[in-house]
A and B are shown apart, each in its own frame.
Chain A
Amino acid sequence: GQNIDQPTEMTATEGAIVQINCTYQTSGFNGLFWYQQHAGEAPTFLSYNVLDGLEEKGRFSSFLSRSKGYSYLLLKELQMKDSASYLCAVFDSNYQLIWGAGTKLIIKP
């Protein structure tokens, strides 16, 4: 079966750095997405990785290792507004999106 694993919940301190991991087992791979979802709102697109390596976008970076079936989202200089759920999703060989259950990130002052 196809599976994506993320930690259920993480806690971090304002101003710090946090890394949210995502491991996947899918039938084929055509890219990996990270989305941010604030409570009661729609998911919004953060990043897309299809090649190995690190993609940096301001305070957020996303890393992919296809051989390990692994990605992480790195958030720097955490702000209170970063409190949200972070969803990992993989395009399989048929371009169907497989979703993880999401990681709820709690930021404390």
Chain B
Amino acid sequence: DVKVTQSSRYLVKRTGEKVFLECVQDMDHENMFWYRQDPGLGLRLIYFSYDVKMKEKGDIPEGYSVSREKKERFSLILESASTNQTSMYLCASRLGIGESSPLHFGNGTRLTVT
């Protein structure tokens, strides 16, 4: 089974702090994704990556950046956390671009910015 691991289940940060969310997958998947999930809204794509060193903006990239230095690891960075970034963050991976393979999700990080 694919395992996607997010480093923290819960985080509480202060406004203005730099926040790092880490995600590791163990199935050699090319594609990795960061979503945020808020009540009443569908999953919204922040950034994704097709391969190492590659990144693409999703629907809501403002206030975020990402890093993919190794194939198995995809990090989401909040440069200066704000209260409107309080949310559930979900990392996911899947096999490859053009493949109709499902996303595999990590357990999520619930971030609270105070």
Contact = CB atoms under 8 A, between A and B. Distances in A.
Interface in A76-109: 87, 89, 91, 95-102
Main secondary structure of the interface of B (DSSP, over half): loop
Interface string B90-114: 1000000111101111111000000
Main secondary structure of the interface of A (DSSP, over half): loop
Contacts of B44: 99
Chain A interface residue bracket vs B: 20 to 34
Interface in B30-49: 40-45
Contacts of B99: 95
Interface stretch (A13-21, A37-45, A57-65): A37-45
Nearest to A43: B105
Interface in A3-38: 4, 8, 30-31, 33
A50 interface: yes
A51 B99 CA distance: 15
A40 to B, nearest CB: 8
A43 B100 contact: no
A4 B41 CA distance: 11
B42 A87 contact: yes
A95 B42 CA distance: 17
Interface of A: 4, 8, 30-31, 33, 40-45, 48, 50, 87, 89, 91, 95-102
19 contacts: A4-B42, A30-B100, A33-B102, A40-B108, A41-B108, A42-B108, A43-B90, A43-B103, A45-B103, A48-B102, A50-B100, A95-B97, A95-B98, A96-B45, A97-B43, A97-B103, A98-B42, A99-B44, A101-B41
